[in-house]
A and B are shown apart, each in its own frame.
Chain A
Amino acid sequence: GDSVTQMEGPVTLSEEAFLTINCTYTATGYPSLFWYVQYPGEGLQLLLKATKADDKGSNKGFEATYRKETTSFHLEKGSVQVSDSAVYFCALSINQFYFGTGTSLTVIP
């Protein structure tokens, strides 16, 4: 069935380090792909999305490219900040939404 698999956490990085959180998907058809972020004590909020192959979603310095050939949508940021500490969820949508298990990121000064 349709699903997403994302990198296990937790991830701890120093400020200004490069971030990659891996996400791969399985889908019948052509899904839309999303990254959501959940800050402590809050609900999930959309970070970025891509709706077709080779699209790149970007927001707040984060990027992810929809790779159909590798069925991936990895999240990247060139220089993380302490304020990026949160849980990140990969998700796909094809008639229904499927969320990954979440990856906790802690950025230390």
Chain B
Amino acid sequence: DAGVIQSPRHEVTEMGQEVTLRCKPISGHDYLFWYRQTMMRGLELLIYFNNNVPIDDSGMPEDRFSAKMPNASFSTLKIQPSEPRDSAVYFCASSFLGGNEQFFGPGTRLTVL
């Protein structure tokens, strides 16, 4: 298996623009997680899905952030409009069952100017 795939690997955009991050989980996994990592705040769980349904989005910082999982093999995290403080590395992870090992993607490094 190719592992968790994220795209793009790097994104540079200007404040106010819409940003869409993409994730393909490992086939057969039923949980998908979106995390954000910064030096100041460390690793933060933003939202997670079970069988394509959002279960807990309490970590989503504000309404500018939204996430979808239209099918078992694809998820997006959208920021609209983006702000400089959104600059971070965003990770997607997937697992089979909620408490099992999570497999992380390589991350998307987002820079908002």
**Segment from B12-20, B74-82, B101-109 that makes contact with A:** B101-109
Asked whether any CB of chain A lies closer than 8 Å to the CB of B43, the reply is: yes
Q: Within the assembled complex, what's the spacing in Å between the Cα atoms of A45 and B101?
A: 9
Q: A17 at the A/B interface (Cβ < 8 Å)?
A: no
Residues of chain B lying within 8 A (CB to CB) of residue A94: 99
**Contact bitstring B43-74, A, C-beta under 8 A = 1, else 0:** 10100000000000000000000000000000
Which residues of B come within 8 Å of A, CB atoms?
A: 4, 33, 42-43, 45, 91, 93, 98-107
Q: Which residues of A contact B (CB under 8 A)?
A: 32, 34, 42-46, 49, 89, 93-97, 99, 101-102
Further 12 A-B residue pairs, CB within 8 A, beyond A43-B91, A43-B107, A93-B99: A34-B101, A44-B93, A45-B104, A46-B102, A49-B101, A95-B99, A96-B98, A97-B33, A97-B45, A97-B98, A97-B99, A99-B45
